[in-house]
A and B are shown apart, each in its own frame.
Chain A
Amino acid sequence: MSEKELGRKWDRCLADTAVKLGAGLGLGIVFSVVFFKRRTWPISFGLGYGLGMAYSNCQHDFRSPYLLHGHVVKEQ
């Protein structure tokens, strides 16, 4: 169903956001804990990174139908 596609996309997006956020958070926490002495900025960075990635993924996912793919035609 094409109308469910958006929903699915949104689901995916949210899931991805969640995952990314989680991962970002995790990594941020990890980095913050491991590397950056429990600062919040790696968490936010990581969240932001995760969110940004998720956003980008989401957007890409939402844009994907409209993307034009070019092909290089080798001339012979």
Chain B
Amino acid sequence: MLRVCRKAAGGAAQSCLYGRGSLRPLQPCCYYSSTGSSGATAGKLVGAGLLFMGGGLGGTILYAKWDPKFRANVEKSVPYSEQLFQMTLGPPASPAPLPKKAVPPQPLHISSVAETSKESKQKKEKSAEQPAAEVLPPPGEHSLEEASTEAAHIISAMSEAVSVPAPGTHRDEAEPQAEAPAGAECVECKHEAPSAVKERPAEEVAVRLALQDQAEQDVLASLSTTLEEALGRTAKVTLQAVEAQDAAVQAICTHTQKLKEAMEDSEVSSDQKSTQWSALESALKERSKCVDNAADALQKARSELENLRGVIAAAKKSSVPGARAHILAAEENLHRMSVDLDNKVSKVQSAQTEAKIISQYSELVREAKTQFQKELNSITPDIQGGWKGLKMSDVAGKLTADDLNSLIAHAHRRIDQLNRELAEQRVREQLRIETALEQQRLEDKKALDGAVAAALERRREEVRLEQERKVEEVREVMEAEMRTQLRRQAAAHTDHLRDVLKVQEQELRAEAQESLNRKLVEQETEFRRMNQQQINAFTQDVNTAFARLKGMEDAIDSHAVAEEEARRAHQLWLAVEALGYTLKTAAAEAPTEPLAGAVQAIRDSCGENEFAQALATALPEESLQRGVYSEASLRARFYSIRKLARRVAMIDETRNSLYQYFLSYLQSVLLFEPEQVAPPAKLSPDDMDTFKLLSYATYCIEHGDLELAAKFVNQLRGESRRVAQDWLKEARLTLETRQIVSLLSAYANAVGLGTTQAP
């Protein structure tokens, strides 16, 4: 304590200007302590002081041990207490762990989140599965059904177009046959109906039709083969029969011819006659043989024809329509063959009748000849051997005149007889002719009937065949026509379809074209729009890029400018700081360094800044040239001023004699007022007293308000004012300079802040 006081007393001599006010409280204790420095009381005092200090220290340490906050405070406030505490108490306890509380709630949150996510996932899966499952089957069914119906429609359309002519051909054979298959088909249809397929698919129909066709073809083939075989056989046989018949006819004809020749050629020599008769006999044999052959062949032919007929009937029964033509052909062949056969037979019969007639004639002739011969023989018994084979020349040589006369008479008689017979014959001829005619008529009638019947039969057959053929033809024609009609219909249908398709195509084409055009236009417009958009976007991008570039450039420029500004601001700030620093260089009594340099630096650093320039120029010349005094020096100076001002408080213009000086000095000595009085907010005229003003100013000075002090000092009047004039000036200078400097500093700070780039 003493040492401190002593130090303080010693320091006061050096720094009385500075520490005078603060040392005031210490001075009394100095005086107190200086009086009580005698021996015994000093020791007591020292001991008490030591005890007090030890107690305080121990208490502090104990309390620090108990309260770590206090320890921290003490460590903060008292410099070397940390080491003291570490030595005595040890290192401070670590702070309690805090984050433990935050950890436990987190797992809960996470689990709950996981649970919720799981739940949501399950729900989502479930919900996804169900609609998927629900969605899948119906589309499947629908698709199947639709596809099947569509296919069926298409196929039915196709099959209708395709299979229409087919049933036409199949109709006849399908009628008896297709009833069963149709029934089966219907049954099948019925079976298939519940399976939601409405029509038989075309493949089945086609297969069935194909099968039917195949079967029909097979049957037809078989029938045709049988027919052909039969036909062939019958044809062969019939041909044979016909040939035989022809041969027979030929033979008969030759025979008759021969017979005729034999009969007629009586002038022929006997050799020739005998040859003729032998030829005739041979011819007769031939004829008989041929006739027999013909008969056999005929029999065979007829049997074959019967067979063929039977086969044809069977074929008819089998009723394959394709075979109808064959059947008809076969029937026709049959008919023709039978007709031929009949013709041939009739020819043969006619030939035979003719031959019979001829033979009868020949018989008659022979009888006549024999009769004549007999007569001749009776008349002329000489000539033997018959007249036949004798020539007239031979006869003339052998006979006499009587014989000749008798012969002639006989001949005449014969001639008369013959004439009479002829007349009789002529007469009877008529009757006989009539009867013969009648007979002939009858026979003719019979024959006619028979022939008519046969012809009728044949005709009927022919007609029937014709009819059948016609029917067949008609049927074929009909079928052909039907086919053609159907084809035509199909063609018409196809035409119609084609037309419709064409129309549709046109429509669709038009539509498509339109839609295409529309789409094209749309696409075009879209494209244009997109293009424009792209262009716009591009230009926009380019513009933005350009703008950005510009912005960047501007930013860079502004950055550069800002940096420049910042640099300048920095410089300014530095200069202002330098200026501020120069302000601090005021020594105790000496003013600061001249501020001219710093101000010049400021002027240089803020070349274009009018404000700074103005401020820089606003600095008073004195401060520039000479510098300003520091506040402390002014403060110190103030006290002397104060003293002086107090001493010359009375002196003014009116009172300025020496005596007044003396009186004023006396007044200052005798007048007691507090050194510092807080100035009121408002000054009243009473406060314009020098001493009061000085008190106010002192107070302000003591509290660092140089300005207010200067203001108060400014209110001094008279000699006090004059005395304080320089101080006031200096104070004003200082204040001005400080104000300008603070302005500049503020300005520099503001500029610096302004130019600082905010992150």
Contacts and interface: CB of A to CB of B under 8 A. Distances in A.
B213 to A, nearest CB: 150
Interface stretch (A25-33, A42-50, A55-63): A55-63
A55 B644 contact: no
A70 interface: no
Contacts of A6: 644, 648, 719, 723
A73 to B, nearest CB: 23
A2 B657 contact: no
B661 interface: yes
Contacts, number: 41
Interface string A20-39: 00000000000000000000
Contacts of A2: 722-727, 729
Contact of B653 (A5, A58, A66): A66
B640 interface: yes
A65 B726 CA distance: 15
Nearest to A56: B658
Nearest to B641: A3
A5 B657 contact: no
B637 A3 contact: yes
Residue among B653, B658, B726 facing the most chain A CB atoms (10 A cut-off): B658
Nearest to A63: B656
A31 to B, nearest CB: 26
Interface residues on B, range: 20 to 34
A66 B719 CA distance: 9
Nearest to B730: A1
Contacts of B651: 62
Residue among A2, A58, A66 facing the most chain B CB atoms (10 A cut-off): A2
A3 B658 CA distance: 17
A20 to B, nearest CB: 14
A23 B729 CA distance: 39
A17 B719 CA distance: 22
Interface string B627-671: 000000000010011001000100111001110010000000000
Contact of A3 (B652, B653, B657, B726): B726
Contacts of B725: 2
B574 to A, nearest CB: 34
Contact of B656 (A3, A5, A55, A62): A62
A65 B721 CA distance: 12
Contacts of B724: 2-3
Contacts of A63: 656-657
A58 B658 contact: yes
B723 A55 contact: no
A59 B658 contact: yes
A62 B722 CA distance: 11
Residue among B637, B656, B724 facing the most chain A CB atoms (10 A cut-off): B656
A55 B658 contact: yes
10 shortest A-B CB distances, which residue pairs?
A2-B726, A2-B725, A66-B653, A1-B726, A63-B656, A59-B658, A3-B644, A3-B723, A3-B641, A66-B656
Interface of B: 637, 640-641, 644, 648, 651-653, 656-658, 661, 719, 722-727, 729
Given A2-B724, A55-B658, A66-B653, 8 more contacts: A2-B729, A3-B637, A5-B722, A5-B726, A59-B658, A62-B657, A63-B656, A66-B656
5 contacts: A2-B724, A3-B724, A3-B726, A3-B727, A6-B648
